Amino acid sequence: MSSPTGGGTFLGLPAVPSRPPYGTGNLRGDRAFPEAAREELGNDQLRRNLAKATRTIRGKRLAVTAELPDWEQLREAGAAIKTDTMNRLPELLEQLERKVTEHGGTVHWARDGVEANEIVTRLVQESGSDEVIKVKSMATQEIGLNEHLESRGITAHETDLAELIVQLAGDRPSHILVPAIHRNREEIRDIFRAGIPGVDPGLDAVPAHLAAAARAHLRKKFMTVPVAVSGANFGIAETGTLSVVESEGNGRMCLTLPRTLITVMGIEKVLPRYRDLEVFLQLLPRSSTGERMNPYTSMWTGVTPGDGPQEFHLVLLDNGRTAALADRIGREALNCIRCSACLNVCPVYERTGGHSYGSTYPGPIGAVLTPQLAGMDAAKNDPNSSLPYASSLCGACFDACPVKIDIPSLLVELRHQHTERSGTTAEKLVMRAAAAVMRRPALFTAAQRVTAAPGRLVAGRDEVVSRLPPPFDGWTDSRDLPAPPRQTFRSWLASEEGAATLREAAEEGRRDREGRAAGREDDDEEAR
């Protein structure tokens, strides 16, 4: 049962909150993961860049997390604060709203991305500007704000260097932290030459020169555009303080120079107390860039007369977050602080890149967060249903996560939810049949016998199976399989040979131990 507004208590019965409308925003690709990955796997440049990037950041992260003797306690506290936050979300959001309002800000609520886009558009229009400057923000990327603004005749200038590269190239970010990691310097030089008005046509591919070109281009925007749009890393309920963590200073520019600041924040980004920053300002930079602290962090509370934007709007965004919250197990993904450590340790991400996930949120966290925000069975063959399977369940992400999100368990849970909703599929029939055989030992041993003979036949004399029919051909495309052995373990154990072998082993062990004991006695004698 759901109310006409798509959620909310109706007739006193709690309803599962609704997700953003299908086809809106950037939380769903146009094809399933394996298909998208196939293309990316063929891109050697991408794989080299990714391998280098993830390896470098991995090493730095390990070094700076290892130097804190209380790293594990910080992770524990971070996880606990986040869980506590989710438990008390309504009161904390109301408190945040009250505090921001008290300090001269205006708070808006958005049920989904469509509504958030409309709110931001209206606010920009009211300011009289047809341009905005933007700080890198996952939330506005998620809801497709730039595209929406453009459709209303408003130009959004991304000011983070990587986001600028991605925007000028008409591209999509491929990593949370380094969105243009799939581009090399020569490509970036070409993108700048083509996309920055008045840029030196002789611009070379030296990173410092490219950064200087971006600085010159964006400085004009910082000084003249009267409206900025940002995301938020944290919003403190106790004080109404918002925070943005960054490196380049473009964030400070956007948060300080314009007349109007509009911040779009997912409702799960709220933290209860100002003091909680002492935990997250340690967890985030060390996990994210592998630095002890990022170059710049800005914290502001509403409006400060004579300092910074004199008009401040905070847009609190649901867009599927409440649907995720309604899942007792899956809600843990809402604890994510967007550090991207899980991407950098993920062997799947390292090889397929961010675009394969089809969502603003790639990598292991994306594989659990995206289906929960946008749904994964919202249409037939929903591409998001392939995301929970885009993992070997190796668990490296869980170890790296600063707030201890058990991503492998969440993946297994989402797989379960998917199969439960999928009706009867060929795979389910196979799984049922396999379970039916394996629950009955007699059937199981019979099955062992009947598969062994053909298996050995397929393998032939070299005892190697190198070609299997679908759906197993994926295996034999690049791996062999040994032929089934002549005898299973249980038949060996039941055989005279098996019994004799174990008897001899026990006997041999006893002789060894006695020999050693005797040797020790001899040694003892000698010692005396």
Give the footprint of another protein on residues 462-501 (CB under 8 A).
462-464, 466, 471-472, 474-475, 477-482, 484-485, 487-490, 492-493, 498, 501
Among 66, 194, 379, 431, binds another protein (CB under 8 A): 431
Q: What angle do CA 231, 233, 238 make, to 5 degrees?
A: 110
Cα(83)–Cα(329) distance, integer angstroms: 12
214 contacts another protein (rule: CB under 8 A)? yes
Q: Which residues contact 259 (CB under 8 A, 6 or more apart)?
A: 127, 226, 227, 309, 310, 311
395 contacts another protein (rule: CB under 8 A)? yes
Segment near another protein (CB under 8 A), from 141-149, 156-164, 226-234, 366-374?
Answer: 156-164
* Least distance in angstroms from the C-beta of 528 to another protein: 26
Give whichever of 151 and 392 is closer to another protein, judged by the CB atom: 392
169 contacts another protein (rule: CB under 8 A)? no
357 contacts another protein (rule: CB under 8 A)? no
Among residues 332, 298, 316, 322, which one has the least CA distance to residue 413? Answer: 332
204 contacts another protein (rule: CB under 8 A)? no
Among 98, 467, 513, 520, binds another protein (CB under 8 A): 513
Give whichever of 93 and 369 is closer to another protein, judged by the CB atom: 93
* Least distance in angstroms from the C-beta of 99 to another protein: 9
Q: Please say whether the beta carbons of 456 and 483 come within 8 A.
A: yes
Give whichever of 353 and 525 is closer to another protein, judged by the CB atom: 353
454 contacts another protein (rule: CB under 8 A)? no
Interface positions, 249-308, toward another protein (CB under 8 A): 249-250, 252-253, 255-257, 267, 274-275, 277-279, 281-282, 289, 291-301, 304-308
525 contacts another protein (rule: CB under 8 A)? no
Q: Please say whether the beta carbons of 102 and 240 come within 8 A.
A: yes
Its sign, for the CA torsion 350, 353, 358, 363, is: positive
* Least distance in angstroms from the C-beta of 142 to another protein: 16
Give whichever of 14 and 21 is closer to another protein, judged by the CB atom: 14
Give whichever of 424 and 525 is closer to another protein, judged by the CB atom: 424
**H-helix or E-strand containing 278?**
helix 277-288
Cα(418)–Cα(415) distance, integer angstroms: 5
Among 117, 352, 360, 372, binds another protein (CB under 8 A): 352
165 contacts another protein (rule: CB under 8 A)? yes
384 contacts another protein (rule: CB under 8 A)? no
* Least distance in angstroms from the C-beta of 213 to another protein: 11
Q: Which residues contact 149 (CB under 8 A, 6 or more apart)?
A: 117, 120, 121, 124, 132, 155, 156
Q: Please say whether the beta carbons of 208 and 116 come within 8 A.
A: no
Q: Which residues contact 452 (CB under 8 A, 6 or more apart)?
A: 484, 485, 486, 488
Give whichever of 24 and 419 is closer to another protein, judged by the CB atom: 419
Give whichever of 78 and 231 is closer to another protein, judged by the CB atom: 78
Give whichever of 300 and 361 is closer to another protein, judged by the CB atom: 300
* Dihedrals phi, psi of 265, to nearest 5 degrees: -130, 130
Cis bond upstream, residue 471 (ω within 30): yes
Among residues 400, 311, 371, which one has the least CA distance to residue 62? Answer: 400
* Least distance in angstroms from the C-beta of 403 to another protein: 12
Q: Please say whether the beta carbons of 65 and 245 come within 8 A.
A: no
515 contacts another protein (rule: CB under 8 A)? no
Interface positions, 105-134, toward another protein (CB under 8 A): 108-111, 115, 119
Q: Please say whether the beta carbons of 351 and 47 come within 8 A.
A: yes
Cα(370)–Cα(365) distance, integer angstroms: 8
Give whichever of 151 and 466 is closer to another protein, judged by the CB atom: 466
Q: Which amino acid is at 257?
A: L
Give whichever of 53 and 154 is closer to another protein, judged by the CB atom: 53
Among 41, 62, 114, 203, binds another protein (CB under 8 A): 41
Q: What angle do CA 304, 305, 311 make, to 5 degrees?
A: 70
Interface positions, 49-108, toward another protein (CB under 8 A): 49, 52-53, 56-57, 69-70, 73-74, 76-77, 80-81, 83-84, 86-87, 89-90, 93-94, 103, 108
Give whichever of 63 and 150 is closer to another protein, judged by the CB atom: 63
**H-helix or E-strand containing 158?**
strand 155-158
509 contacts another protein (rule: CB under 8 A)? yes
441 contacts another protein (rule: CB under 8 A)? yes
314 forms beta bridges with: 107, 263
* Least distance in angstroms from the C-beta of 67 to another protein: 9
Give one DSSP letter per residue of 405-456, joined into a string: --HHHHHHHHHHHHHHHS-S-HHHHHHHHHHHHHTSHHHHHHHHHHHHHHHH
Among 45, 151, 392, 495, binds another protein (CB under 8 A): 392
139 contacts another protein (rule: CB under 8 A)? no
224 contacts another protein (rule: CB under 8 A)? yes
Among residues 333, 236, 305, which one has the least CA distance to residue 276? Answer: 236
Give one DSSP letter per residue of 334-391, joined into a string: GG-----HHHHH-HHHHHH-SGGG-SSS-HHHHHHHHHHHH-SSSSTT-GGGGGGGS-
Among 348, 365, 368, 405, binds another protein (CB under 8 A): 348
* Least distance in angstroms from the C-beta of 44 to another protein: 11
Give whichever of 307 and 525 is closer to another protein, judged by the CB atom: 307
Q: Please say whether the beta carbons of 243 and 271 come within 8 A.
A: no
